[in-house]
Amino acid sequence: MNKNKIILICGCLVLAAIFYIIFLKPQSSGISDYKGQIVYIKCNNPKCVHVQEMDKAEYFTMLHEKFNDEERPLCSKCGSSARRYTKCPKCSQLYFHAADKCPDCGYSELDSANK
């Protein structure tokens, strides 16, 4: 009877640890890791093309609060849909964040990380 209780308690602790790792840890540490990085939110509306600079941590907090973690930022100027852009560290060109490399100079974040 006692042995079963211990197994039950251990099982609960393991489950709690798993829940903690999956649901709590990545969110808090993940977003604060981004602090100090800048993202660029560029409007999709060709008549507006407003570019907003934002702290990456703030950006993800905003997505979390307003869009349920779905990445669909809006232009702060005209309210059209917008996309996240990255600034090329080499030539300062803005390019879509999911692109593998800078369309202007060919700089790739992945390539330089592997070196």
Applying CB under 5 A, the residues found at the interface with Zn ion are: 43, 45, 48, 50, 75, 77-78, 80, 88, 90-91, 93, 102, 104-105, 107
Residue 103 near residue 96 (C-beta atoms within 8 A): no
33/104 with CB nearer Zn ion: 104
Min CB(43)–Zn ion separation in Å: 3
Min CB(107)–Zn ion separation in Å: 4
Element (H, E) at 27: helix 25-33
CA 98 to CA 86: how far, in whole Å?
9
Min CB(106)–Zn ion separation in Å: 7
Closest CA to 89 of 65, 112, 67: 112
57/74 with CB nearer Zn ion: 74
36/46 with CB nearer Zn ion: 46
34/107 with CB nearer Zn ion: 107
Min CB(48)–Zn ion separation in Å: 3
Q: Which residues of 32-63 are buried (b: 16+ CB within 10 A; e: fewer)?
A: eebeeeebbbbbeeeeeeeebebebbebbeeb
